Amino acid sequence: MQSMRPIISRGNTIGASMPEVTPWPTGAGTAAELVRSIDWAATSLGPTDRCPSSLRSVVDMLLACSFPMVALCGPDLVQIYNDSCAALMGRKHPSGMGQPTAQCWPEVWHFNEPIYRQVREGNTLTFENKLLTLERHGFPEDAYFNLCFSPLRDE
């Protein structure tokens, strides 16, 4: 059920009630709050009012998921991730939200960049127990990941 608020102009109610605008994304949690706080107009994604409904749905879904997930959006692959992913990022969170992935993760760009080219061509790639050397805490550390890269479809 949507809450209603009156349309107000110069202090007077001038018509029927309109549904209250719900801030996007609708999810709870630290990552959702961070997504709502970012000036997306300052990124290559542009203002959220121009965000395709398909991307809004994907972001709402990943924010609600307890499995670490990230959506890489736009030409420079701007990151939008959930709380579980934030826990894996170490010092790269919260600055990684809204940041191009190449800027956030330069130490693994040699691995990621060819994958992103394939995903942009419509392919899905999966890796099990993939060893990556990340700098999440200010020093290189080896970590193993199960990874799935899948395209987000435009409307």
| CATH numbers and ranges of domains, the chain | 23-149 (3.30.450)
Q: What is the mean pLDDT of residues 117-140?
A: 97
Enter the tokens of residue 124. Answer: 């899905």
Bridge partners for 69 per DSSP = none
Cα separation, 100 vs 91, in Å, equals: 16
Q: Give one DSSP letter per residue of 69-91, joined into a string.
A: -EEEETTTTEEEE-HHHHHHHGG
Mean model confidence pLDDT for the chain? 88
**Residue 86: is it exposed, middle or buried by C-beta count within 10 angstroms (0-12/13-18/19+)?**
buried
pTM comes to 0.84
Q: According to the model, what pLDDT value does residue 62 have?
A: 96
* pLDDT at residue 5 tops 50: no
Enter the tokens of residue 155. Answer: 């409307």
Look at the alpha carbons of 114, 100, 49, 42 in this order and tell me if their dihedral is positive or negative.
Answer: negative
Q: Is the peptide bond before 151 cis (omega within 30 degrees of 0)?
A: no
Look at the alpha carbons of 93, 52, 108, 68 in this order and tell me if their dihedral is positive or negative.
Answer: positive
* pLDDT at residue 1 tops 60: no
Q: According to the model, what pLDDT value does residue 154 have?
A: 77
* pLDDT at residue 155 tops 90: no
Enter the tokens of residue 126. Answer: 């999966």
Q: Residues 50-104: pLDDT tens digits?
A: 989 999 999 999 999 999 999 999 999 999 999 999 999 999 999 999 999 999 9
Q: According to the model, what pLDDT value does residue 26 have?
A: 87
